[in-house]
């Protein structure tokens, strides 16, 4: 069922409304699936306590709102419970479904969350590259499986608030802090996980009394594209992609003088890992025949494995070597640059988890209402007056780097931006995952190291960045309007000064912000 299909749920005890509700029908009408339709309105509540864990703006099209992380606790060994509060800070009512808090991504992905609930609020373990999503019931119709608050037919009036909850699978005990990510709000970084019970909200279901489906913990992938070497971290695994043009001469499998320095770096990473098996895979572009490409890619992979065997000092490491020829391209073979990137040898192993004491915490964390640190105007003539302004750029102890920025329309015409900030082949060299529209094309670039960082993403295709096609998301700016957007990356401590490249359609650097420091 589509993520965007409008669905309804029971009113009363089964309705996941955060506060006391009103307007439920005594004889509720039934929808086509036999579920009761209902309406509900959020009620005003007290001022948030001083123990607030963070407040950020929500990018909703129908008004102005904020969301606050109020509590995060290990309520049992297996469950972490979070509570949130949405505040309508504008002048008009906001439908809760228009808060855009359901899970984004490929709607055909197995188990994707309920589109009428806050299924898209996740807990990101930056050290483990793991995104924890709300628990699901083992059985039930799709609109009733999330152990989290619903948004169906709930309205937050101007000046009122709405309390929400979600139960999550508990991260390992050593994970004591997470980043709270939401599709239409900037991340709340470095949130401590408490322990002990929380006062339950009126709609809150008890996981202990529910038959649960397997927990949804999605591997988060980070991408660092270099000229000679690129690194993909997916969950606990690392894949280092080495350019064959740097390692070898044309049609040869003998290592070049330049190759040794690159392989020494890879060997050091393998030494820091505890993996006993390393996969080495050779790949070719589509030039030539399988009779040429298959044995050449095999010989090149074996040459790299032999050299790593000599360089790695940790005992007990074995190598699985395979040549794939041209059968597994990662870029289009229609361009010279795409073919160059497809000619590669990849080395895959379990990565070493970063040690906080050895990871540089740097940059400026985002604060709600913070002014601009730097900015740049968009260059395309069709968006004259559009401007990108950086409000926060921060790297935590795991290397997780958050960018929060404002898209501002200082021009004279209405601008729709929902599809224009995405990753595109002609501007980024590879296609975006299937996920709808997001701000997934915004690149963080280290000009000194010639590394381009892409926003992180998860197995469902969802970008760890602003979802501009989420229900109710603000994807259009009238003259004088602005919206706060965000991205998450993984950067190394060596990355100190960066540039931000914001795309627009076919222009990869439509807005180019330079000279930003995170180290």
Report pLDDT digits (tens) over 192-240: 999 999 999 998 999 999 899 999 999 999 999 998 999 999 999 999 9
Q: Are 427 and 510 in contact (CB under 8 A)?
A: no
- Mean pLDDT over 456-475 rounds to 92
Q: Are 182 and 101 in contact (CB under 8 A)?
A: yes
Q: Counting Cβ atoms within 10 Å, is residue 22 exposed (0-12), middle (13-18) or buried (19+)?
A: exposed
Q: Is the pLDDT of residue 465 over 60?
A: yes
Q: Is the pLDDT of residue 429 over 80?
A: no
DSSP symbols for 339-375: HHHHSEEEEEEEPPPPPGGGS--EEE---TT---SEE
pLDDT band at 101 (very low <50, low <70, confident <90, very high): very high
pLDDT in the model for residue 90? 94
Q: Is the pLDDT of residue 477 over 60?
A: yes
Distance CA 255, CA 253 (A): 6
- Mean pLDDT over 236-253 rounds to 93
- Mean pLDDT over 354-372 rounds to 79
pLDDT in the model for residue 20? 30
Q: Which residue shows structure tokens 């799709």?
A: 142
- List the helix and strand counts (H, then E) for the chain: 5, 29
pLDDT in the model for residue 140? 65
Distance CA 272, CA 203 (A): 47
Distance CA 429, CA 426 (A): 6
The residue that leads in pLDDT, 463 or 14, is 463
- Mean pLDDT over 371-384 rounds to 94
- Can you read off the two tokens belonging to residue 124? 């990101």
Full 3-state SS string of 377-432: ECCCHHHCCEEEEEEEEEECCCCEEEEEEEEEECCCCCEECCCCCCCCHHHHCCCC
The CA-atom distances, in angstroms, between 506 and each of 304, 428, 441, 446, 462 are 37, 9, 11, 22, 22
Q: Are 124 and 204 in contact (CB under 8 A)?
A: no
H or E element in which residue 476 lies: strand 476-477
Q: Is the pLDDT of residue 507 over 70?
A: yes
The CA-atom distances, in angstroms, between 161 and each of 21, 48, 101, 115 are 12, 10, 15, 21
Q: Are 466 and 475 in contact (CB under 8 A)?
A: no
End-to-end CA distance of the chain: 45
Q: Is the pLDDT of residue 278 over 50?
A: yes
pLDDT in the model for residue 38? 39
pLDDT in the model for residue 37? 37
Which has the closest alpha carbon to 56: 511, 479, 484, 501? 484
At a CB cut-off of 8 Å and minimum separation 6, what does 80 contact? 72, 73, 74, 123, 132, 167, 168, 169, 170, 171, 193
The residues that bridge with 437 in the sheet, in sequence order, are none
| Strand 217-225 versus strand 161-169 pairing type | unpaired
Which has the closest alpha carbon to 364: 189, 216, 230? 189
Angle between helices 259-272 and 290-311 (to 10 degrees): 60
Per-residue DSSP letter, 305 = H
pLDDT band at 502 (very low <50, low <70, confident <90, very high): very high
pLDDT band at 3 (very low <50, low <70, confident <90, very high): very low
pLDDT in the model for residue 27? 33
* Strand, coil or helix: 13: helix
- Can you read off the two tokens belonging to residue 66? 């904020």
The residue that leads in pLDDT, 374 or 112, is 374
Distance CA 17, CA 196 (A): 23
pLDDT in the model for residue 248? 94
Per-residue DSSP letter, 463 = B
The CA-atom distances, in angstroms, between 157 and each of 25, 64, 128, 293 are 20, 11, 39, 64
Distance CA 113, CA 115 (A): 6
Q: Are 121 and 134 in contact (CB under 8 A)?
A: yes
Is the sign of the CA dihedral 271, 273, 276, 279 positive or negative? negative
At a CB cut-off of 8 Å and minimum separation 6, what does 306 contact? none
Q: Which residue shows structure tokens 């913990």?
A: 217
Cα 74 versus chain centre, distance: 23
Tell me the whole-structure pTM to 2 decimals: 0.86
Map out the domains of the chain with their CATH numbers: 12-215 (no CATH), 237-350 (3.30.1330.60), 356-517 (2.60.40)
Q: Is the pLDDT of residue 48 over 70?
A: no
- Over residues 76-87, the pLDDT tens digits come to 999 999 999 999
Per-residue DSSP letter, 60 = B
pLDDT band at 434 (very low <50, low <70, confident <90, very high): confident
Q: Is the pLDDT of residue 17 over 70?
A: no
pLDDT band at 143 (very low <50, low <70, confident <90, very high): low
pLDDT band at 484 (very low <50, low <70, confident <90, very high): very high
């Amino acid at each position: 069922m589509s993520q965007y299909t409008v669905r309804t749920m029971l009113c009363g005890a089964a309705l996941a409304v955060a506060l006391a509700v009103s307007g439920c029908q005594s004889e509720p009408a039934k929808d086509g699936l036999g579920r009761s339709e209902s309406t509900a309105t959020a009620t005003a509540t007290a001022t948030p306590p001083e123990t607030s864990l963070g407040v950020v703006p929500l990018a909703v099209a129908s008004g102005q709102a904020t969301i606050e992380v109020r509590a995060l606790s290990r309520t049992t060994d297996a469950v972490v419970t979070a509570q949130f509060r949405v505040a309508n800070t504008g002048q008009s009512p906001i439908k809760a479904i228009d808060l855009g808090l359901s899970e984004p991504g490929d709607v055909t992905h197995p188990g994707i969350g309920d589109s009428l609930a806050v299924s898209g609020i996740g807990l990101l373990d930056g050290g483990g590259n793991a995104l924890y999503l709300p628990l699901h019931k083992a059985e039930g119709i799709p609109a009733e499986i999330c152990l989290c608050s619903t948004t169906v037919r709930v309205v937050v009036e101007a000046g009122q608030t709405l309390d929400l909850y979600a139960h999550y699978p508990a991260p390992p005990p050593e994970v004591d802090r997470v980043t709270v990510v939401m599709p239409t709000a900037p991340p709340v970084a470095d949130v401590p996980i408490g322990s002990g019970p929380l006062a339950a909200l009126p709609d809150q279901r008890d996981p202990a009394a529910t038959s649960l489906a397997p927990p949804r913990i999605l591997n988060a992938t980070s991408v660092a594209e270099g000229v000679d070497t690129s690194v993909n971290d997916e969950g606990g695994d690392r894949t280092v992609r080495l350019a064959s043009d740097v390692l070898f001469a044309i049609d040869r499998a003998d290592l070049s003088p330049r190759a040794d320095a690159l392989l020494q770096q890879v060997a050091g990473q393998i030494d820091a890992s505890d993996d006993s098996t390393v996969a080495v895979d050779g790949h070719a572009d589509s030039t030539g025949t399988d009779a040429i490409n298959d044995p050449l890619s095999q010989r090149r992979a074996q040459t790299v494995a032999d050299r790593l065997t000599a360089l790695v000092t940790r005992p007990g490491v074995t190598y699985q070597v395979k040549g794939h020829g041209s059968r597994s391209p990662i870029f289009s073979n229609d361009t010279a640059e795409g073919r160059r990137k497809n000619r590669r040898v990849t080395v895959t192993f379990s990565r070493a988890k970063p040690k906080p004491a050895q990871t540089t915490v740097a940059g400026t964390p985002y604060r709600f209402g913070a002014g601009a640190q730097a900015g740049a105007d968009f260059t395309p003539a069709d968006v004259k007056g559009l401007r990108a302004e950086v409000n926060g750029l921060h790297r935590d102890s795991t290397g997780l780097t958050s960018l929060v920025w404002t898209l501002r329309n200082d021009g004279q015409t209405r601008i729709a931006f929902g599809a224009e900030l995405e990753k595109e082949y002609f501007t980024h060299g590879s296609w975006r995952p299937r996920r709808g529209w997001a701000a997934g094309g915004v690149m963080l670039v280290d000009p000194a190291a010639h590394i381009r960082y892409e926003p992180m993403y998860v197995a469902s295709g969802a970008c760890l960045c602003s979802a501009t096609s989420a229900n109710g998301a603000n994807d259009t700016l009238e003259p004088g309007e602005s919206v706060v957007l965000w991205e998450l990356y993984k950067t190394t401590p060596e990355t100190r000064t960066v540039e931000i490249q914001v795309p627009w359609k076919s222009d990869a650097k439509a807005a180019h912000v330079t000279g930003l420091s995170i180290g």
